[in-house]
Structure 1
């Protein structure tokens, strides 16, 4: 949930501080509900759609528990996502060696699923 990400992420503390005096987390979740991927888990559960997720285990922007919650919602909806867990943070995922590992994993995923 984008609301939970903003509420719990270290990099989004300033956004939370600006929102907190005027809105509670439950109201923010409701207001930002259309942006919450968890609300679309059943729509993503399609036989013609394979999902690949890269999870940064030390992410301080999107906390791993939030990502795991989304992955569980997907599984509950019947999706079998391919999940790669890397011992890195949100921003360090874009740096070697993590970006290389993520790229190789994506290449294998696309090759295995018959995509160009």
Structure 2
């Protein structure tokens, strides 16, 4: 059974993955999967689980930032078939903003 602590840890790990530099993100998963999709799906999965089961896990400000990350992900642009995954992670303003937002949320956990 997955505990509250497990879900919180897994959500944090997904946000850490979103905050990593592009070259590190590109190596997080097997080469048989689309890394960009997996990054988004991991976050979405744990965000939805924690939102539905442990709404008291974070402060209201932390929830606002998580919600903003989730809403930003809804704006995921179509993939550019001319780019590799690494190029997309490195060059896309979407991914740069997502890394920034993720780092900011992780910083709130330190305070």
Settle same-fold status: TM greater than 0.5.
Answer: no
The answer to which structure, 1 or 2, has the higher relative contact order (CA under 8 A, 6+ apart) is 2
TM-score in terms of structure 1 length: 0.35
- Structure showing greater radius of gyration is 1
Looking at secondary structure, tell me which structure has more helix per residue: 2
TM-score, length-scaled by structure 2: 0.36
Higher strand share: 1
